Amino acid sequence: MNPAENDPTTTTIGTGEGATARPARRRILATLSALPAGAAFAAGAAQAAPNDKGKGKGRAKKGSFRLGVENLLAADALSLLDGKNVGLITNPTGTDRELRSTIDLLVDAQESGGFTLTALFGPEHGVRGAEPAGGSVGDYIDEKTGLPVRSLYGKTQKPTPQMLADVDVLVFDIQDIGTRFYTYIWTLYYAMEAAGENDKSFIVLDRPNPLGRDIEGFVLEPELSSFVGLREITQTHGLTVGELADFFNGEFLDAAVDLTVVEMSGYDAEDPLAADLPWVLPSPNIPTPEIAVVYAGTGLIESLNISEGRGTTTPFLWFGAPFITEAHIDAIISELQAADLPGVLYRPMFATPTTSKHAGAFCGGLQLHVTDAAAYEPVRTGIHVLSALLRTVDEVDWREGDACRTPEDTCWIDQLSGTKRTRAMLEAGEPAEAIVEAWRKEAKRFEASTQRYRRY
């Protein structure tokens, strides 16, 4: 990665309230959908490069928080769209603090802003969020607006030149949850790549990272690149979606994008709760802020023949299987308690998933209860859960079974964790903490590489 090779063109629209970031634990958000983190436009605000932010700034002022979309709609910021045909990449998380859709806000602002909204682009789950995980999302006409909706999930993940023929600028307003294998950031990446290749400008309406500055896990190995991890970042990346766009532009994209990040104002990356916003689920199986906090780690359970809680009311907080007995549960809880992981308690829980793995089967398992989101370490906890399951329950296996037996195989655990080292160490019976220690140096190097892109 060499920033000098790209020389990205990036504009910051904001109040200049960013800060040189220090590592911070995340707190459970009052909303995942309405917290932006990046650049905020305010009338008369000075423009500043992200690495020009001074220390001691970025603290939330009570009642002063504004979303990126709200700052875009300020009279002077809206001039960014003047005379342009606009394509909007969004989903139900694109709202203002009053839960008004970014789609509706831009439709209503067309006349005053002198622009035309020509198309909507939808990620996984779709523009309206109705599709299940991995569900087919096709092109159609939006019933409410009459606009064409172009799918960026499924056969076409990157906008084609034909999709962009009636677009001058792409606007991105989607809430990320801070995890490499959450696909929205790769929709962002592909859209930015397409914009650079097709001479389109790009605007990100920044939103917060619910995991704050949490950086855990291995850096993705390039040979394991997929739509659950395209480029070399850690499992939790510690960046807001606007900061991540800057990082992509500066480190990875061959054709640098004419990028503008519309920041939040009055945002404190160390205390997202200060924004005091309502919750909009970013995808069907992230219905609560607590689940967003744990997903980065317990999402790894997808790689096992264990239910990760899809089809229950507590996805990713609960996991289980028909062959897990009460004795197994006691042993797993005992092992997790011995690990002394911060910010979490455990309890036995039985459930019958209605969909996905073990649908319709009565399953033994346990639920995680996050007691201190500021202290909780999602990826470390997730590795301990996988280790305890593999060591305690003989029937636990990788979800591919016999197709996941050799180093040459590529398994779901490899793609989710970004490396084959995780699988190899777990199969060798190495302690979970050995895996955590194995990624620490990588995580520190990655954190250092992100410093120039931090805005808060």
Helix (H/G/I), strand (E/B), else coil: 329: helix
DSSP for 176-245, please give it.
Answer: --SBTTSTHHHHHHHHHHHHHHTT-EEEEE-B--TTTT-EESPPPPGGG-BTTB-SS--SEE---HHHHH
Q: Are 282 and 177 in contact (CB under 8 A)?
A: yes
End-to-end CA distance of the chain: 23
Radius of gyration of the chain (CA): 22
Partnered with residue 13 across adjacent β-strands are: 262
Q: Are 215 and 397 in contact (CB under 8 A)?
A: no
Helix (H/G/I), strand (E/B), else coil: 86: strand
State how far the alpha carbon of 357 is from the alpha carbons of 320, 360, 386, in Å. 10, 9, 17
Sheet with 344-351, edge to edge strand ranges: 318-321, 363-370, 344-351
Among 130, 260, 268, 125, which Cα is nearest to 203's?
Answer: 260
Give φ, ψ of 151 to 5 degrees. Answer: -80, 135
**Residue showing tokens 């200060």:** 274
Cα 92 → chain centroid? 15
Which domains, and CATH codes, for the chain?
A: 3-284 (3.40.50.12170), 289-445 (3.90.1150.140)
pLDDT in tens, the chain (456 residues): 443 333 444 565 654 333 333 233 333 233 333 333 333 333 323 233 344 333 334 444 556 889 999 999 987 889 999 999 999 999 999 999 999 999 999 999 999 999 999 999 999 888 987 666 666 677 889 989 999 999 999 889 999 999 999 999 999 999 999 999 999 999 999 999 999 999 999 999 999 898 989 999 999 999 999 999 999 999 999 999 999 999 999 999 998 899 999 999 988 888 766 677 788 999 999 999 999 999 999 999 999 999 999 999 999 999 999 999 999 999 999 999 999 999 999 999 999 999 999 999 999 999 999 999 889 999 999 999 999 999 999 999 999 999 999 999 999 999 999 999 999 999 999 999 999 999 999 999 999 999 999 998
Sign of the Cα torsion 310, 210, 136, 129 reads: positive
Partnered with residue 398 across adjacent β-strands are: 304
Token reading at 115:
């622009």
Among 157, 244, 170, which Cα is nearest to 207's?
Answer: 244
Q: Are 288 and 39 in contact (CB under 8 A)?
A: no
153: DSSP letter? S
Cα 231 to Cα 58: distance, rounded to the nearest angstrom: 29
129: left (phi over 0), alpha (psi -120 to 50) or beta: left
Helix (H/G/I), strand (E/B), else coil: 253: coil
pTM of the model: 0.86
